[in-house]
Structure 1
Amino acid sequence: MTPAALGLAMGQHAKTGPSTAAAPLTPADMERIGTVDDRYQSYNIEMIEVTGGEFWAPYGPEGAVATNSALLQYRPPLDLANRRLRTLAAALGPAYVRVSGTWANNTYFPDADETATEPPAGFTGVLTRRQWQGVVDFAHAVDAEIVTSFAIGPGTRDEVGAWTPDQALSRVAYTRELGGSIAAAEFMNEPNAAAMGGAPPGYSAAAFGADFRRFREFAARVLPDMVVLGPGSVGETAGVSIHAAGVEGFIPTRHLLAASRPATVDAFSYHHYGALSLRCAALAESAAGGEDTGAQALSTTSPDDALSEQWLRRTDETLAFYRPLRDEFAPSAPFWNTETAEAACGGNPWAATFLDTFRYLDQLGRLAKQEVRVVAHNTLAASDYGLLDETTLLPRPNYWGALLWRKLMGTTVLESGVPQPGRHVYAHNLRGTPGGVAVLVINTDMDSSLTLSIPTAGERYTLSSDRPRSTSVRLNGTELALDVAGALPELHGVPTPAGDVDFASATITFLALPEAANQACR
């Protein structure tokens, strides 16, 4: 290997400037600060992908969105038996697969003797029994447990407008008939955006509270082992709330939780998007009436900001909004982030590039330190934010980052001892190696390298790209791709001796330190 090739393999490139003074890593002494679910890194398959229907339309040339009326485009049902899809999903297992989304709120599930091709009154879509069987079979094949939500629209109501569990019971019974199970569920998708989500006209916090108490009783009776998630709200942060911005129809999460008492959740779920995508930014501006409101602020994002601390900390700001609500209404419940991605409404064009892998992995690192037990990325294989390209099902850069996380980062969360901001260094136990430590080093600086002093030898796995907005990514200098047979490559680390180690600008590195001798990782 030539000196130039060796430098590339170690994540070095021409833009790397002088590094700052070496910060010490002491893996043996890193304290345990929490744990995450073994299925911590999970993903969504939207209900509309399973049934087929209108989802976010592809961008035009250079990311253009023609008109607001062209935001959605029909797509056929996702082939959950596809060999490549199953192979790549299985490599991320064990995981949770969440089948939900806005469309799930009004999707009809037929009885065994029905042949429903059109939704009955009060519903907008149909989930066939064969399609749900595909979900159960997929989950079995890829070591995933099912997370979902249930229909709550006008078609599920009795004569006085109360929610009835008939639809939920039918799907639960069929799941069991197939030998499957539902590990966790939210009552409905994004209840604070109920008006947008197809709830009955005039749906209120009081209506949700009554519905949720019925759902909680149903779950206790029919699904006693299922984790009841909620509320599953979206669009609220410590800095700005869509409701406070005056967007019509939004219900504050506090009102939802207060109205639900005395019923509560087993895990406090929420959704996080740092911004709206270009598809929906114009809609937010229109809803705000041209005024400088929180709705517009939430829609602001740019690829130029994608490595900034201001952008990356938005995940903290959302969690900070929900933490006092969790502490007040469900103090013993862990957090689940059941839907997240670069931006809502399908993601921006750069969500499919290496630029977003910094956010993807930084978010996993941040949330693991803050009582978040599960993070479900939206989506596995749909729109620009999918881990896989929706047409070819080939891995995007975020998928390769996800694969390395799954390979190396265990469930014991450690304090790395390297302070932020400016340095994004996270540590977990090294998966499958008692006493070993895995360290994730994300250098978001475009001009300077970062140096850490490491007391023990190990292996490094450095992700880099010629251009941050490229859809290709290299591991230790070798471009990552499936082989001609469609198989995943072996992910090998580069031996790294003890001492000062440089991490080049705009790179992401996992360090495997099997000889760390950390007692918390035994």
Structure 2
Amino acid sequence: MKLVLLLLFFLRAHSDPGPRPLALHTDRAQDPDPDLDMDLDLDLAAVRHRVDPRFLSVTIDASLAEEERFMLLLSSVKLQTLTKALSPAFLRFGGTRQDFMKFEPQRNKQQLNVTAESCGHTPPPWWLEEELKRDWAKYQEILIQEDLKASYQRVQFTASTVDQVYSFCSRCGLDLVFGLNALLRTPNNTWDGANAAALLRYCQSRGYHMAWELGNEPNSFKKKAGISVDGEQLGLDFAHLRKIMSQFQLYGRAGLYGPDISQLRDRRTNILDGFLQTGAESINAVTWHHYYVNGRETSLKDFLDPEVLDTLGEKITEILEKVKGASPIRPVWLGESSSAFGGGAPGLSDTFVAGFMWLDKLGLAASMGVDVVMRQALVGAGRYQLVDLNLDPLPDYWLSLLYKRLVGPEVLKVRVFSEFGQNKRIRVYLHCANKKSSSSGAVVLLSMNLNEKSSIMLLPSSISSGPVEAFILQSDQPGEGGVCSRSVMLNGAVLKMVNDETFPDLRGARLPPTDRLLLPPFSLAFFLFPEAGAAACS
């Protein structure tokens, strides 16, 4: 059978709104290299792991509340449209600045130009939204400089911030996880929970169902604030918070997550060990943070390097072993994660090439047993956001949206073989398909090609007898240099919102039964098999 899926090169936009034919664009494609042919072995009989239905979740950086007027951006119709499409998910409101924020419920909202009517229910007038976006673009540069200098100002936030973020989550179908300040300490260096209790009291009075965290990256407290907290004390602080939560009807059984350490290295390992000894019984899941590279020192080569991608598996293994040894029933979450720390890498973390790190992280984390991955960030200061400063989707948003629509929580086993040995530049994961959008027994193959040449994936007979729906993501620019574009194509058509409330056509290209699939150069792909009949997915 001669490369039947050379068909699979890309849909171009047509005026006909119905199903569109596939065409091969020889100016964009390269002949497949037989050295890159891969044989796939799929196990459709058993579920390997089942992640939380909210597996792909997002964060909003607490820096948005440094000037509380910026919280009005959460009332944007466009942002709410984009966020609703990622439900179900958690939304973590936190980050570095949560440990420099104090709740001041009595401050006058009118002084902040925030009114009760603006709390997420009524979008700001267009001129105000445009003004806020312009001011935010300037202000985030100040925040980035604060991060570079590790010098942070103390911030007081009012009930308005809480109202805005809760209303945003409620309207968008997200479950809120609110980060509390762990640097409010007593003279004995124990956590002072009085301010947290005031916040919980307010939230209960409003009937806000939400979960909590305490502190962000405690291993960096010394650098950020000149305060050291060891793991044992941190665990006791969480136990103290759990006791406070138990005094409130809404929060006695609410989620509490932590300790949100950075990836394991040196003292961070000791913090996690100590925390698990004294705090594991207080939390619902163990959280840690992961970034592949330093955003100020990285390069395009790093973003396309399979050895860099493989470092995540090493860290996951280490974390899972520690948690299993100390508290085996606790789920493990990536509580904050993106491509590059330090606010992301300009021209990389906000472009198409970041999708290789993002899709591989989602595939690998799920296959290894991580239950939730929270993407830093939906909006906030930095260069790794899912939406840009105009609140328009960046490439990783479109990748996340397709993941949400197509991929179910059940992880299946897939193995890749080649007569030339393992090719780490071809990476493949397998899930049951999302049952909300696919029939029972359907499966979806998550794939990526880090090569500059096309590759063929050879399918087993168990799956090759039915049709395939292909969703191929590529940069709108050709070649390796083109992967740094901020635009992405789905099956050959550039993705762009029709308007603030309308998505473009996100249908896949329906292909006839075949025993081989083509992965174009530098591509990300979802292949949906709607008639696979997988026993594990029925």
TM class by smaller structure: 0.7 to 0.9
- Residue in 2 that maps onto 1:186: 213
The one-letter amino acid paired with 2:450 is: T
1:132-151 → structure 2 map (5 Å cutoff)? 132-151=162-181
Distance in 2 separating the partners of 1:416 and 1:5: 24
Distance of aligned partners of 1:520 and 1:125 in 2 relative to their CA distance in 1, 3 Å threshold: same
Is 2:530 the counterpart of 1:514? yes
What is the CA-CA distance between 1:253 and the residue it aligns to?
2.6
Q: Which residue of 2 aligns with 1:36?
A: 51
Which blocks of at least 5 consecutive residues in structure 1 are unaligned?
54-74, 244-249, 282-300
Counterpart position of 1:457: 467
The 2-side partners of 1:335 and 1:341 are apart by 17
Q: Secondary structure at the match of 1:515?
A: coil
The offset of 1:327, in angstroms, is 1.6
Q: For residues 271 and 93 of structure 1, do their structure 2 counterparts lie closer, same or farther at Cα, with a shift above 3 Å needed? A: same
Contact 1:16 1:504 survives alignment (8 Å): no
Report the equivalent of 2:402: 404
Match of 1:100, as an amino acid? G
Q: Distance in 2 between matches of 1:123 and 1:330?
A: 37
- 1:104 and 2:102 are equivalent in the alignment: no
Tell me, yes or no, if the aligned pair for 1:43 and 1:95 is still in contact at 8 Å.
yes
Supply the distance in 1 between the matched residues of 2:447 and 2:227 (Cα, whole angstroms): 49
1:285 is matched with none
Aligned to 2:133: none
Provide the residue aligned with 1:334 in structure 2: 331
Instruction: Work out whether residues 16 and 505 of structure 1, in 8 Å CA contact, stay in contact via their aligned partners in 2.
Output: no
3-state SS of 2:92 partner: strand
Name the stretch that deviates more: 435-444 or 202-211.
Answer: 202-211
1:14 aligns to 2:29 (yes or no): yes
Contact (CA 8 Å) 2:233, 2:275: kept in 1 or not?
Answer: no
Q: Is the CA contact (8 Å cut-off) linking 1:457 and 1:515 kept in structure 2?
A: yes
Mapping 1:309-458, distance limit 5 Å: 309-349=306-346, 350-382=348-380, 383-389=382-388, 391-418=389-416, 421-432=424-435, 433-453=439-459, 454-455=463-464, 456-458=466-468
- Look up the match of 1:82: 76
Partner-residue secondary structure (3-state), 2:458: strand
Q: 1:475 to 1:22 in 2, by over 3 A?
A: same
CA contact (8 A) 1:307 1:358 kept: yes
Residues 337 and 376, structure 1, Cα contact 8 Å, conserved in 2: yes
- SS of residue matched to 2:415: coil
- Change in CA separation of 1:354 and 1:30 when aligned onto 2, cut-off 3 Å: farther
Q: Distance in 2 between matches of 1:409 and 1:6?
A: 20
Mapping 1:268-307, distance limit 5 Å = 268-278=286-296, 281=297, 301-307=298-304
Corresponding residue to 2:243 among 202, 217, 228: 217
Contact 1:33 1:414 in 2 (8 A): yes
SS in 1 for 2:105: coil
Q: Kindly tell me: are residues 348 and 159 of structure 1, through their superposed partners in 2, closer, same or farther at Cα, counting changes over 3 Å?
A: closer
Cα 1:205–1:410 change in 2 (3 A) is closer
Q: Which amino acid aligns with 1:387?
A: L
The equivalent of 2:200 in structure 1 is 172
User: Percent identical across equivalent pairs?
Assistant: 26
Letter in 1 for 2:356: F
Equivalent residue in structure 2 for 1:95, among 89, 92, 116: 89
8 Å contact from structure 2 (residues 44, 534) kept in 1: yes
1:343 is paired with a residue whose SS is: strand
Distance in 2, matches of 1:308 and 1:101, equals: 28
Tell me which residue corresponds to 1:58.
Answer: none
Q: Conserved in 1, the CA contact under 8 Å of 2:429 and 2:447?
A: yes
Q: Structure 1 pair 519/32, CA: closer, same or farther in 2 (3 Å)?
A: same
Deviation at 1:106, TM superposition (A): 2.3
Q: Is the 8 A contact 1:380 1:388 kept in 2?
A: yes
Deviation at 1:263, TM superposition (A): 4.1
Question: In 2, are the aligned partners of 1:443 and 1:508 still within 8 Å (CA)?
Answer: yes
State TM-score, norm by structure 2: 0.79
Counterpart contact for 1:108–1:123, Cα < 8 Å? no
SS at match of 1:149: strand
Change beyond 3 A, Cα 1:462–1:193: same
What displacement does 1:388 show? 0.4
- The 2-side partners of 1:175 and 1:117 are apart by 22
**In the aligned structure 1, how far is the partner of 2:30 from the partner of 2:387?**
29
Output the CA distance in 2 between the equivalents of 1:491 and 1:358.
20
Structure 1 range deviating more: 19-28 or 508-517 = 19-28
Identify the range of structure 1 (142-151 vs 478-487) with the bigger mean alpha-carbon deviation: 478-487
Aligned 8 A contact 2:72 2:164 in 1:
no
Instruction: Label 1:188 to 1:116 Cα distance change in 2 as closer, same or farther (>3 A).
Output: farther
1:491 aligns with 2:517: no
User: How far apart, in 1, do the equivalents of 2:36 and 2:216 lie?
Assistant: 48
User: Match of 1:7, as an amino acid?
Assistant: F
- 1:185-264 equivalences in 2 (<5 Å): 185-198=212-225, 201-222=227-248, 223-236=251-264, 241=265, 243=267, 252-257=270-275, 260=278, 263-264=281-282
Structure 2 residue 178 is the aligned partner of structure 1 residue 163:
no
Contact 1:450 1:505 in 2 (8 A): no
Structure 1 residue aligned with 2:67: 52
Cα displacement (A) at 1:192: 1.8
SS in 2 for 1:97: strand
Equivalent pair of 1:136/1:178 in contact (CA under 8 Å):
no
| Offset, 1:273 | 0.8
How far apart in 1 are the matches of 2:234 and 2:9? Answer: 58
* Number of aligned positions between the proteins: 460
Distance in 1 (CA, whole Å) between partners of 2:337 and 2:500 is 32
